Amino acid sequence: MSQSTIQTLLNQLSQVLLGKPEQIKLAVACILAKGHLLIEDLPGMGKTSLSQGIASSLGMSYQRIQFTSDMLPADILGVSIYSKEQQQFIFHKGPIFNQMLLADEINRASPKTQSALLEAMAEQQITIDGITHPLSSPFFVIATQNPVDQAGTFPLPESQLDRFMMRISIGYPSAEAELAMLKSRTQANKPASLSQCLTPQELMLLQQQVAQVSASDAVLNYLIALVDYSRQHNTANGLSPRASIALLQAAKAWAFINQRQYVVPEDIQAVFASVAEHRIRSSSQFQGQALSDTILASVNPIR
Pair 163, 129 in one domain: yes
Pair 47, 97 in one domain: yes
Per-residue pLDDT of the chain (303 residues; tens, 9 = 90+): 556 889 889 988 888 888 888 999 999 999 999 999 998 877 777 777 888 888 888 888 888 898 888 888 889 999 888 888 888 888 889 999 999 999 888 888 888 888 888 889 989 999 888 888 999 889 999 998 877 666 667 778 888 888 999 999 887 878 887 788 787 765 445 666 678 888 889 999 999 999 999 999 999 999 999 999 988 875 567 888 999 999 999 999 999 999 999 999 999 999 999 999 888 865 444 455 667 888 888 888 865
Phi, psi of 202 (to 5 degrees): -65, -35
Burial of 192 (0-12, 13-18, 19+ CB in 10 A): exposed
131-158 confidence digits (pLDDT tens):
889 998 899 999 988 776 666 677 788 8
Q: Into how many domains does the chain fold?
A: 2
CATH of residue 15:
3.40.50.300
Q: Which of 150, 180, 210 is the last residue of a domain?
A: 210
Which domain does 295 fall in, by range?
Answer: 213-302
Q: Which of 149, 177, 210 is the last residue of a domain?
A: 210
Pair 4, 45 in one domain: yes
At residue 284, the pLDDT reads: 46
Contacts of 17 (CB under 8 A, 6+ apart): 23, 24, 46, 49, 50, 53, 170
Distance CA 27, CA 48 (A): 13
Pair 206, 218 in one domain: no
Pair 146, 230 in one domain: no
Pair 268, 148 in one domain: no
Reported in sequence order, the residue ranges of the chain that DSSP labels E, i.e. its strands, are 37-40, 62-66, 78-83, 88-93, 100-104, 125-128, 131-134, 140-145, 166-168, 235-237, 281-282
At residue 105, the pLDDT reads: 87
Q: What is the mean pLDDT of the chain?
A: 85
Pair 88, 191 in one domain: yes
At residue 37, the pLDDT reads: 94
At residue 272, the pLDDT reads: 95
At residue 152, the pLDDT reads: 67
CATH of residue 274:
1.10.8.80
At residue 188, the pLDDT reads: 47
Pair 255, 287 in one domain: yes
At residue 280, the pLDDT reads: 83
Pair 158, 256 in one domain: no
pTM value is 0.87
Pair 298, 169 in one domain: no
Pair 169, 221 in one domain: no
Pair 120, 257 in one domain: no
At residue 2, the pLDDT reads: 59
Q: Which of 187, 210, 233 is the last residue of a domain?
A: 210
At residue 303, the pLDDT reads: 57
74-91 confidence digits (pLDDT tens):
899 998 888 888 888 888
